[in-house]
């Protein structure tokens, strides 16, 4: 997995393509979904998510990868499914800054700017109160 993270950071699509077919377990497949979405290949990412669902549809990484993929595919129904996934994970476990950011992106896609702002304010409140690490790169990307 370290190799995949390093190649993702390097930003070379060729290197990413070399890693993608060799991934076998859930964590690596989730990384593969991220890489494919970064390469603007949501169609291939969707096939990877379907393979993950076939193995374990209740796994947290499978749900996250499905949400990422749905955001990458876009469209009203897909974005709504992603929003439900982020909501379910936040309610089931604990709301993390990245879950809040994912939910905010869903709200932005749906034109729900007030809801998106509330989610981002939760991240900021947790950040300023010392409950979570600084997420400047996460907030800047969104």
Instruction: Give the pLDDT confidence score for residue 22 in this predicted structure.
Output: 57
User: Strands, DSSP E only, in the chain?
Assistant: none
Domain boundary among 24, 40, 73: 73
Q: Which residue has the tokens 């060729």?
A: 14
**Which structural domain, as residue segments, surrounds residue 134?**
76-142
To the nearest 10°, report the CA torsion of 107, 97, 90, 82: 40
In this structure, what token pair is assigned to residue 36? 């494919």
What pLDDT, in 10s, does the model give residues 19-63? Answer: 555 555 788 899 889 999 999 999 999 999 999 999 988 899 999
Domain boundary among 28, 44, 73: 73
Contacts for 87-95: CB closer than 8 Å, 24+ residues apart: 88/63, 89/60, 89/63, 89/64, 93/60, 95/122
What pLDDT, in 10s, does the model give residues 88-105? Answer: 999 999 899 999 999 999
- Stated pTM of the model: 0.72
Mean pLDDT in residue range 67-77: 92
The full length of the chain comes to 142
Same structural domain for residues 30 and 80? no
Same structural domain for residues 63 and 98? no
Same structural domain for residues 56 and 91? no
Same structural domain for residues 90 and 120? yes
């Amino acid at each position: 997995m370290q190799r995949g993270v390093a190649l993702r950071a390097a930003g070379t699509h060729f290197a990413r393509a070399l890693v993608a077919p060799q991934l076998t377990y859930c964590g690596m497949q989730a990384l593969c979904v991220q890489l494919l979405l970064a390469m603007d290949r949501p169609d291939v990412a969707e096939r990877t998510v379907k393979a993950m669902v076939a193995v374990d549809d209740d796994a947290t990484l499978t749900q996250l990868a499905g949400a990422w993929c749905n955001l990458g595919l876009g469209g009203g129904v897909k974005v709504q499914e992603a929003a439900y996934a982020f909501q379910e994970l936040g309610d089931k476990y604990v709301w993390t800054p990245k879950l809040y950011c994912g939910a905010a992106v869903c709200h932005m896609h749906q034109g729900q700017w007030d809801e998106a702002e509330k989610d981002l304010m939760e991240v900021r409140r947790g950040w300023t109160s010392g409950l979570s690490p600084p997420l400047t790169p996460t907030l800047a990307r969104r």
